[in-house]
């Protein structure tokens, strides 16, 4: 069946009729959308909108994540042939998923960017859909959380990262990917008593009460233990997952702006994400994929798999 479909399926980003189902379009051809979903701004009947935010003007070191959404879409063309391994169900046939395209913004008016992104996500949520966002640097999570907290109240956040992003920053006009979590906590968007950071391996002076599991502890105690801690922390509270690709060791994800050695292996991230099945996931993002620093494309492949796992997590409680 797959071979027959491959002979006829092409440009499913525009031609697919159903919002559900696998795709067997040749991975190396056709118009590129995330997981070969249909590009659409119509959210009628949509469960989940995948959207790109090509913004990297908040980085502290190497630029490049503005090209992340494009690279993640291209890398994802290898995935929609089969259900994601290990889940026991097919989220692409269970959920109505669209590629909502990218956020439009004026790159020369950086100060207007946060409000534009919050409004973009607010529109998705108002339509009754959830969002999975392809970044972009990690600052983008702050405007996204503002939209989610408007609807759901203070959120549980599971934050995969090498950095806590809790650097002190009380200037509301600063746009910095290293301070997004500090501002999110200070603004009351995040319930730190029901949240967890995973993979941390850089210093932080003040975690503001945010629990964390550093990368060495993940290695020593294992994925199963980490999942137990995460599920205990978030309970049945609405959860947002933000996954900075530098949570992975640079051996697995060199294409990022601030790589730090000693990080998670791909298999550890996969095991943790899959075993989180059952949490009340309401949205998520993958950020800091910087294609210019990875000519192999391995970082984008890892990021596309993370996004697929987020979709599977979102669908698990909605089957």
- Maximum Cα interatomic distance, the chain, rounded to a whole number of Å: 58
Q: What letters, b where the CB count within 10 A reaches 16 and e where it falls short, cover 285-295?
A: bbbbbbbebbe
Nearest to 20, CA basis, from 86, 71, 72, 89: 89
61 is in an annotated binding site: no
Nearest to 24, CA basis, from 80, 76, 95, 84: 80
90 is in an annotated binding site: no
Beta bridge pairs of residue 134: 52, 286
CA torsion sign, 284 to 230 to 239 to 119? negative
165 is in an annotated binding site: yes
56 is in an annotated binding site: no
305 is in an annotated binding site: no
* Ramachandran area for residue 293 (φ above 0: left; ψ -120 to 50: alpha; else beta): alpha
Which H/E stretch holds residue 284?
strand 281-287
244 is in an annotated binding site: yes
Q: Measured between alpha carbons, how far is 30 from 77 in angstroms, rounded to an integer?
A: 10
SS3 49: strand
Token pair for 178:
């290293």
Which H/E stretch holds residue 69?
helix 68-75
Beta bridge pairs of residue 156: 239
Q: Measured between alpha carbons, how far is 73 from 300 in angstroms, rounded to an integer?
A: 9
As annotated, the binding site for Mn(2+) includes 138, 161, 163, 165, 244, 246
As annotated, the binding site includes 138, 161, 163, 165, 244, 246
């Amino acid at each position: 069946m797959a071979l027959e479909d491959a002979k006829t399926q092409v440009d499913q980003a525009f031609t697919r009729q159903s919002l559900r189902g696998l795709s067997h379009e040749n991975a190396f051809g056709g118009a590129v959308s995330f997981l070969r979903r249909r590009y659409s701004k119509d959210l009628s009947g949509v469960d989940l909108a995948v959207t790109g935010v090509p913004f990297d003007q908040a980085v502290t070191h190497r630029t490049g994540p503005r090209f992340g959404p494009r690279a993640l879409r291209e890398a994802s063309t290898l995935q929609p042939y089969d259900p994601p391994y290990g889940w026991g169900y097919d989220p692409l046939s269970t959920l109505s998923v669209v590629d909502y395209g990218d956020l439009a913004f004026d790159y020369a008016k950086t100060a207007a960017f946060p409000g534009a992104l919050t409004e973009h996500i607010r529109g998705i949520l108002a339509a009754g859909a959830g969002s999975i966002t392809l970044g972009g640097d990690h600052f983008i999570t702050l405007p996204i959380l503002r939209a989610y907290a408007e609807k759901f109240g203070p959120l549980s956040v599971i934050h995969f990262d090498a950095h806590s992003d809790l650097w002190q920053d009380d200037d509301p006009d600063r746009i910095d990917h290293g301070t997004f979590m500090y501002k999110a906590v200070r603004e009351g968007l995040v319930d730190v008593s029901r949240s967890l950071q995973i993979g941390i391996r850089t210093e932080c002076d003040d975690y503001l009460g945010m629990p964390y599991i550093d990368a060495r502890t993940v290695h020593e105690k294992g994925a199963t233990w980490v999942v137990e801690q995460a599920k205990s922390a978030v309970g049945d509270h609405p959860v947002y997952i933000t996954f900075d690709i530098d949570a992975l060791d640079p051996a697995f994800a060199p294409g990022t702006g601030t790589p730090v050695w000693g990080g998670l292996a791909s298999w550890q991230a996969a095991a943790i994400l899959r075993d989180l099945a059952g949490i009340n996931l309401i949205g998520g993002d993958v950020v800091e994929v910087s294609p210019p620093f990875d000519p192999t494309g391995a970082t984008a492949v890892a990021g596309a798999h993370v996004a697929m796992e987020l979709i599977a997590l979102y669908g698990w409680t909605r089957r």
